[in-house]
Amino acid sequence: MFKAKLKEAVLCLSAGRVTLKYPFAPSDVPPKFRGRIMFDAHKCIGCGGCANVCPPRCIVMEDMGEVTRITFYLERCIQCARCHEVCPEDAVWPTEQFETATPDKSDLTSDMTVWMSSCQRCGRCFESDNAIDKFRSKRWRGRGPGEANKHGIFPTKPPIYFEPPKQLVREEEDL
């Protein structure tokens, strides 16, 4: 009886402390963790793929002629990262931030505004100067073989290689 109690005590003592020190020490997230989504307006081409696939419709696109505004209602984001999956330019990606608690709901509504220019023939909008210039820039789907993902979080998509025809390359214009 006493021996059993002693054994139990030793077991309990040897286990040590299991409680996480979390709020006072940083907590690691598992690999491929999907947290709060972030975006880059300079990479976005305004194709609307993310808004199309978003299950809770937390990405809303507003077409305002020459300007497209994309609003992210992060309050109902379910962090499925479908937007990252379909984005051809990696303009939206999940970060590892899970500390998203806030007393103010306006912190949860993000937006980006992208300038579009209109086609001379049909009058519809397309993404301005970068469309061709991005072909030249290294940033455009520019992950060579063996390079790490630029966000370092998600597994890379297979890179697409594209050589632009030289006569299409024009001088850089000021945006």
What does the binding site for another protein look like in residue numbers (CB under 8 A)? Answer: 18-20, 22-24, 27, 36, 38-42, 44, 55-58, 62-67, 69, 72-79, 97-103, 105-115, 124-125, 128, 174-175
CB of residue 60 vs another protein: minimum separation in angstroms? 11
Q: Among residues 111 and 147, whose Cβ is nearest to another protein?
A: 111
Q: Among residues 86 and 95, whose Cβ is nearest to another protein?
A: 95
Six token digits for residue 133: 């210039």
Q: Among residues 171 and 174, whose Cβ is nearest to another protein?
A: 174
Six token digits for residue 172: 């850089």
CB of residue 165 vs another protein: minimum separation in angstroms? 26
Rounded CA gap, 56 and 15, in Å? 43
Rounded CA gap, 108 and 100, in Å? 9
Secondary structure of residue 28 in the 3-state scheme: coil
Six token digits for residue 161: 């290689």
Q: Among residues 65 and 155, whose Cβ is nearest to another protein?
A: 65
**CA–CA distances in Å: residue 43 to residues 119, 125, 128:** 20, 16, 11
